[in-house]
């Protein structure tokens, strides 16, 4: 009897049992006796969130395209299910076969967010796999990590055997192939020997093969490989032919509602804008886009295999996609007949076009979301948003002209050089948008405007120009949140803010090093998990974990770092050179902007990957939107 079959007898005792059953439409089943490698891919959060993650779907498809590799899925069980598994002594299992995760050759985690780190340890514990890489034997799975947080893997380096740095469509398959080849050419599997072998695969980082030394003041003094054949710098993997890259035409369809219950169509990867706070805009460079023909074909295949009634056109900024109008027109040739909706979730406010929105949304007048990020022009220049107040107001004016009555705006507090006037500028900008609505003579009768201002705290991220700038103290972030609240004087503006205490913990791990593994072990001992969920996050427990580990969290979160200091992630190469990032940080302090990549190449270094903008067309999106 498999662990899943044993667990089935008790599923009535837990909430949302459909999270744990497997058996979904389009799941992939194989004969495990014919497999040379088995891979369990775990999303370290709930099923509803994990099943919405496009990256998991892509890599699930890529690995299963190999005849002798079987990739299955797993998710972090909600605490009631986790407690049941421990009570009944049932190891955490994979959805497809129901086998224990400890029976697999690989256990993979995607690290999307620093606050998921405690869930990685939670899953390993439930799977009965030693937390520390150094304590695993030849019989344990190879634990491999990837995703955006792997660009600074050091805080969790002690828990992973390998990291797949960059885009995994090719790199992850090569790593598993390396394992298969090793087993074929060796009579006995030796974990340490294999890890040294896989470090030769481009993009594979094996933390145990590197020594890290620290100075008396706590900074890193040296990072170097233990052996001459291990690369001193690990360069990310990057898909050059993005239009021809593998993309799933079938994906498992959940039995229960998920966060994104729709077709996710990845139109482009990367960003050409260069916002100085944005990690995704750096690590996914260079910008690459698929052709409308490829996207139309993929969308139709996914519709036929899933039955979803909505297609979401995704990228970091869909309005930058070169052939957006052409793509929308080609999709609508069949989506209208099938009654399939199209959504554009990431429009830039200066690129908002009523014509396109009318095409995709018809008579539905849903709200719109834009991200000015800062309330004053000075601070938008600091962060290189390249967005003027007039462009923001014009974008809202265009939105209101189509009958919309609510707009959501994202901002950040704690940006470098921020003053109280900049904070008040967020409220002032919100009021200007309210005024623009009432200036519209054709606004819907009897309907008032609602402007929602959502404000997050800046978390300095690795491989960004702001990685050297410390986060505001917790008291200062809280003071600014209250100051902004006091500056809002109209009920037409709704104000939401992100918990500053969560952002502080996130910043500790975003800029952290290997010494933080001790704090994570302490957090695991304290039973911490699901830190991204308000009902489970405990700042007091985090402070206790840091205290038990003899770690000062302000050293990581608040300290300004010198440009000449060795960073914990300096040996991870994201493709954008450090000189460019330093220049951008200095320009931020001078309030000097950098043009987007299409306007002018700033020689960031990403061009070395040789990827084309679009396989079929290299078109300037500023002129292509009109079709």
Least confident range from 29-43, 119-133, 311-325: namely 311-325
Instruction: From residue 554, give the alpha-carbon distance in Å to each of 81, 474, 538.
Output: 35, 10, 17
Average pLDDT of the segment spanning 617-627: 40
Q: Which of 235, 251, 286 is a domain's end point?
A: 235
Q: Please report the pLDDT score of residue 493 as a whole number.
A: 97
551 lies in some domain: no
Average pLDDT over residues 26-42: 98
Same domain? For 287 and 151 the reply is no
What pLDDT sits at residue 282?
97
Query: For the segment 75-104, what is each residue's pLDDT rounded down to a tens digit?
Result: 999 999 999 999 999 999 999 999 999 999
- Residue 550, pLDDT > 80, answer yes
* Residues 6+ positions from 16 with CB-CB distance below 8 Å: 47, 78, 256
Residue 340 lies in a domain: yes
Q: Determine the Cα angle at 577 with ends 215 and 509, to 5°.
A: 50
> Do residues 283 and 151 share a domain?
no
* Any domain includes 287: yes
Return the pLDDT at 72. Answer: 98
Give every CB contact of residue 326 below 8 A, 6+ residues apart in sequence. 292, 624, 627
Checking if the pLDDT of 214 tops 50, the result is yes
pLDDT of residue 116: 97
Residue 366 has pLDDT above 90, yes or no: no
Q: Is the pLDDT of residue 566 over 90?
A: yes
CB 159 within 8 A of CB 520: yes
| 627: confidence class by pLDDT, cuts 50, 70, 90 | very low
Which residues have C-beta within 8 Å of that of residue 461, sequence separation ≥ 6? 277, 278, 279, 467, 510, 511
User: For residue 625, what pLDDT band results from cuts at 50, 70 and 90?
Assistant: very low
Position 616 pLDDT exceeds 60? no
Does pLDDT of 265 surpass 50? yes
Asked if residue 294 has pLDDT above 90, the reply is yes
Q: What pLDDT was estimated at residue 621?
A: 43
Percent of the chain exceeding pLDDT 70 equals 95
Under the banding of pLDDT at 50, 70 and 90, the label for residue 355 is low
Q: What is the pLDDT of residues 53-73, one digit of tens each?
A: 999 999 999 999 999 999 999
Mean pLDDT of the chain: 93
Domain co-membership, 396 together with 472: yes
Q: What totals of helices (H) and strands (E) does the chain contain, helices first?
A: 21, 19
Query: Does the pLDDT of residue 137 top 90, yes or no?
Result: yes
Model confidence at 364, pLDDT cuts 50, 70, 90, reads very low
213 and 275 in a single domain? The answer is no
pLDDT in tens, 225-246: 999 999 999 999 999 999 999 9
Asked whether residue 403 carries a pLDDT value surpassing 90, the answer given is: no
Kindly state whether residues 580 and 476 are assigned to the same domain.
yes
* pLDDT of 626: 34
173 and 45 in a common domain: yes
332 is a domain residue: yes
Quick one: pLDDT at residue 619?
43
283 and 368 share one domain? yes
Task: Report which DSSP code applies to 616.
Answer: S
- Give the separation between CA 420 and CA 410, rounded to whole angstroms: 18
Task: Report residue 103 as tokens.
Answer: 């029976």
Q: CATH number, domain at 507?
A: 3.80.30.20
Tell me: the pLDDT tens digits for 148-177?
A: 999 999 999 999 999 999 999 999 999 999
The answer to whether residues 179 and 218 belong to one domain is: yes
Sheet order of strands, 368-373 included:
368-373, 406-413, 450-457, 493-497
| 290 assigned to some structural domain | yes
* One domain for residues 400 and 467: yes
Q: Give the domain range for residue 191.
A: 3-165+168-235
**DSSP structure class, residue 236:** P
Mean pLDDT value of segment 480-492: 97
Residue pLDDT, tens place only, 498-520: 999 999 999 999 999 999 999 99
Is residue 567 domain-shared with residue 492, that is, in the same domain?
yes
| Residue 498 belongs to a domain | yes
Give me the sign of the Cα torsion angle 79, 80, 86, 90. Answer: negative
pLDDT at 303 (0 to 100): 96
**Do residues 491 and 572 both lie within one domain?**
yes
pLDDT at 363: 39
Residue at 267 is within a domain: yes
Q: Is cis: bond before 202, omega within 30 of 0?
A: no
pLDDT bucket at 623, cuts 50 / 70 / 90: very low
Asked whether residue 362 carries a pLDDT value surpassing 60, the answer given is no
Q: Give the SS3 label for residue 590.
A: coil
CATH of the domain at 192: 3.40.50.280
- Structural domain total, the chain: 2
Rg (CA), the chain: 24
Q: Is residue 45 part of a domain?
A: yes
Q: What is the pLDDT of residues 571-607, one digit of tens each?
A: 999 999 999 999 999 999 999 999 999 899 999 999 9
Examine the pLDDT at 446 and tell me if it is beyond 90: no
The separation between CA 102 and the C-alpha centre of its own chain, rounded to angstroms, equals: 26
Q: Which pLDDT band holds residue 612 (cuts at 50, 70, 90)?
A: low
**364 with 485, same domain?**
yes
Here the tokens at position 553 are 């969290």
Find how far residue 33's CA is from the centre of its chain: 35
Identify the pLDDT of residue 352.
Answer: 59
pLDDT at 204 over 50: yes
- Mean of pLDDT values over 321-326: 91
């Amino acid at each position: 009897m498999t662990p899943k079959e044993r667990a089935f007898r008790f599923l009535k005792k837990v909430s949302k049992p459909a999270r744990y059953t497997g058996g979904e439409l389009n799941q992939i089943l194989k004969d495990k006796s014919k497999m040379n490698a088995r891979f369990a891919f775990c999303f370290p959060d709930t099923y509803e969130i994990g099943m919405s993650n496009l990256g998991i779907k892509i890599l699930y498809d890529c690995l299963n395209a190999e005849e002798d590799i079987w990739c299955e899925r797993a998710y972090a069980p909600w605490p009631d299910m986790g407690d049941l598994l421990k009570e009944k002594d049932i190891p955490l299992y994979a959805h497809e076969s129901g086998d224990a995760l400890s029976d697999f050759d690989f256990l993979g985690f995607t690290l999307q967010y620093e606050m998921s780190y405690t869930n990685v340890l939670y899953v390993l514990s439930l799977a009965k796999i030693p937390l520390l890489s150094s304590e695993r034997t030849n019989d344990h799975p190879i634990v491999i990590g990837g995703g955006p947080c792997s660009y600074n893997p050091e805080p969790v380096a002690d828990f992973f055997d390998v990291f797949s740095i960059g885009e995994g469509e090719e790199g992850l398959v090569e790593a598993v192939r390396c394992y298969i080849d090793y087993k074929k050419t060796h009579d006995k599997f030796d974990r340490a020997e294999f890890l040294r072998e896989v470090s030769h695969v481009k993009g594979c980082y094996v933390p145990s093969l590197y020594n890290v030394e620290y100075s008396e003041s706590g900074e890193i003094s040296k990072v170097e490989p233990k052996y001459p054949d291990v690369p001193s710098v690990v360069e990310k993997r990057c898909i050059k032919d993005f239009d021809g890259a593998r993309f799933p035409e079938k994906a498992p369809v959940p039995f229960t509602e998920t966060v994104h219950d729709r077709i996710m169509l990845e139109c482009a990867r990367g960003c050409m804008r260069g916002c100085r706070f944005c990690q995704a805009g750096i690590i996914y460079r260079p910008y690459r886009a698929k052709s409308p023909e490829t996207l139309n074909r993929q969308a139709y295949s996914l519709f036929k295999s899933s039955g979803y009634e909505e297609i979401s056109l995704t990228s970091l900024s869909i309005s930058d996609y070169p052939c957006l109008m052409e793509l929308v027109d080609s999709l609508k040739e069949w989506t209208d007949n099938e009654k399939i909706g199209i959504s554009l979730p990431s429009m830039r406010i200066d690129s908002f076009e009523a014509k396109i929105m009318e095409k995709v949304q018809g008579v539905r007048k849903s709200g719109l979301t834009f991200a000015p990020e800062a309330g004053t022009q000075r601070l938008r220049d600091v962060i290189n948003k390249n967005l003027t107040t007039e462009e923001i107001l014009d974008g809202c004016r265009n939105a209101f002209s189509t009958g919309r009555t609510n707009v959501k705006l994202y901002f950040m507090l704690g940006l470098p050089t921020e003053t109280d006037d900049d904070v008040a500028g967020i409220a002032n900008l919100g009021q200007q948008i309210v005024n623009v609505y009432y200036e519209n003579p054709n606004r819907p009768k009897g309907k008032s405007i609602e402007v929602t201002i959502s404000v997050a705290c800046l978390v300095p991220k690795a491989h960004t120009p702001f990685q050297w700038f410390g986060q505001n103290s917790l008291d200062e972030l809280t003071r600014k949140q209250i100051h902004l609240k006091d500056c809002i004087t109209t009920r037409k503006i709704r104000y939401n803010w992100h918990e500053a205490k969560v952002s502080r913990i996130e910043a500790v791990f975003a800029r952290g090093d290997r010494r933080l593994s001790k704090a994570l072990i302490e957090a695991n001992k304290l039973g911490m998990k699901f830190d991204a969920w308000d009902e489970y996050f405990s700042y007091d427990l985090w402070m206790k974990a840091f205290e038990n580990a003899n770690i000062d969290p302000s050293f990581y979160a608040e300290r300004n770092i010198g440009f000449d200091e060795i960073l914990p992630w300096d040996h991870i190469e994201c493709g954008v050179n450090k000189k460019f990032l330093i220049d951008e940080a200095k320009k931020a302090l001078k309030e000097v902007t950098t043009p987007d990549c299409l306007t002018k190449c700033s020689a960031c270094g990403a061009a070395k990957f040789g990827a084309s903008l679009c396989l079929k067309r290299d078109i300037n999106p500023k002129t292509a939107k009109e079709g």
